[in-house]
Amino acid sequence: MHTRRTLRRTRTGLALLTAALLTAACSASGASTSATSASEATLAALPRATPSALSPYYGQKLSWRDCGVPGFQCATMKAPLDYAEPSEGEVRLAVARKKATGPGKRLGSLLVNPGGPGGSAVGYLQQYAGIGYPEEVRARYDMVAVDPRGVARSEPVECLDGPKMDAYTRTDTTPDDQRETEQLVDAYQDFAEGCGADAPELLRHVSTVESARDMDLLRAVLGDEKLTYVGASYGTFLGATYAGLFPDRVGRLVLDGAMDPSLPARQLNLEQTAGFETAFQSFAKDCVRRSGCPLGGSGTTPRRAGDTLKAFFGKLDTRPIRTGDDRVLTESLATTGVIAAMYDEGAWPQLREALTAAMKKGDGTGLLALSDSYYERDPDGNYSNLMSANAAVNCLDLPAAFSSPDEARAAVPDFEKASPVFGEGLAWASLNCAYWPVQPSGEPHRIAAAGASPIVVVGTTRDPATPYRWAESLAAQLSSGRLLTYDGDGHTAYGRGSSCIDSAINTYLLRGAAPADGKRCS
């Protein structure tokens, strides 16, 4: 359960989510938007005919081999590094599948992506989707995943080694003076320089548009006329981008925990900050009703509980506490640990225990474990490339939220209004792309995907990472969007216990019957 949720959630902290978007003129991908105004720009479809220069890629044959995971096969797919210059180099992308088990007629391939950006789709397939999706879905579809370029097994971007990542994740993101501000800027610059040194060419070609084009390559190579896809969190933006570029090739698309591509980075980060506050208030209401809640007793308001937690963070800012190993729990690590538990209400008991140990016993082991799971740090101090890929995609796809510390500092009051608990830290976290070594190639835009088959957009009313309003907006932008609402907590809705949601999505995937627009479930 927790492994699946870790893989599916959108990321924040020092690599706060920003939407990956497209440029108004021509990008390196060769796609364009149809208007110059960011607020009015709309993603334009690519020509239906495949350019002759891409024929070798579309005509390639995959050589499937054993993955070392029972029931799964793996292969390597080639894609052009730069779709505008296909002859100038290529990237090798990791693909995995689990063939349809039957009974029933095979419906084709079902591609899945867990989000991030930076989450391993292959890992998600092998650890959850290929074994945990409804049996009737797995019976009719080959379950397939491709790690996007720069992610996990697909030529991963690596910015910092384990010890340097440890230092990076504990960097103070609530600077109190000029010295601490300079330390934070130094951390962002070191991280960016590490990424630039590791993959100077690839770093220019890890955009969401390019990954969406890679998905069309995979669709063709697998022999599917149209794409069937389930994307969660950032995976919704990837799927919506595919629909915008290739509307005539849209099969059955489920976009769960939707992002809004029309928002600039600052607004995205501000609204996500408010989403975490909404989730925290739900957690606080639940916590104070239970005996021993470290945030207060029965009758304590969520705002008072938040004040208590914020005061605890403030103490850690000056005096970190011990953990079960040689590391200490800092304010930034504790904040990340709390945010990690906001993605899934199933983690609330673990968070209560961790906060109780930290606040009452001075033991930060539990909160550090939550933070480590969020950053995908293993017990030996090794990190996955999640945070590196997250920044690489985000900082390429959208202009930075802030260009200087002064801009971040000036925005703190707005972020604190959105979340008294998390606002200050998340405002400063939005500065990370200001120092990126590659200029962004994207801008905010709308996605209409005119002519596409019905696309199911799923929103959760108290989703912390992708606020419900984003699902409403994306469903309205898509010409064939169908909004499916889950009235509940946590990030994403499919496979989280709502028989109403699951039935609607399964019916769509198996029979092609999309739910009525506006359908609500609890």
Catalytic residues: 233, 463, 491
Phi, psi (rounded to 5 degrees) for 257: 80, 60
Q: Interhelix angle for 348-361 vs 365-375, to 10°?
A: 130
Distances from the Cα of 496 to the Cα of 176, 500, 503, angstroms:
40, 11, 12
User: What are the beta bridge partners of residue 321?
Assistant: 329
CA distance 419 to 299: 21
Of 231, 153, 196, 259, the C-alpha closest to 392 is 196
Query: 484 and 253 in contact (C-beta within 8 Å)?
Result: no
Query: 73 and 65 in contact (C-beta within 8 Å)?
Result: yes
Three-state helix/strand/coil letters over 492-503: CCCCCCCHHHHH
Dihedral sign from CA coordinates of 500, 501, 507, 512: positive
SS3 420: coil
CA distance 412 to 427: 6
SS3 236: helix
Enumerate residues 6+ apart whose C-beta is below 8 A from 455: 240, 243, 250, 253, 255, 449, 478, 480, 481, 482, 514
Query: 81 and 201 in contact (C-beta within 8 Å)?
Result: yes
CA distance 124 to 108: 19
The residue type found at 360 is: K
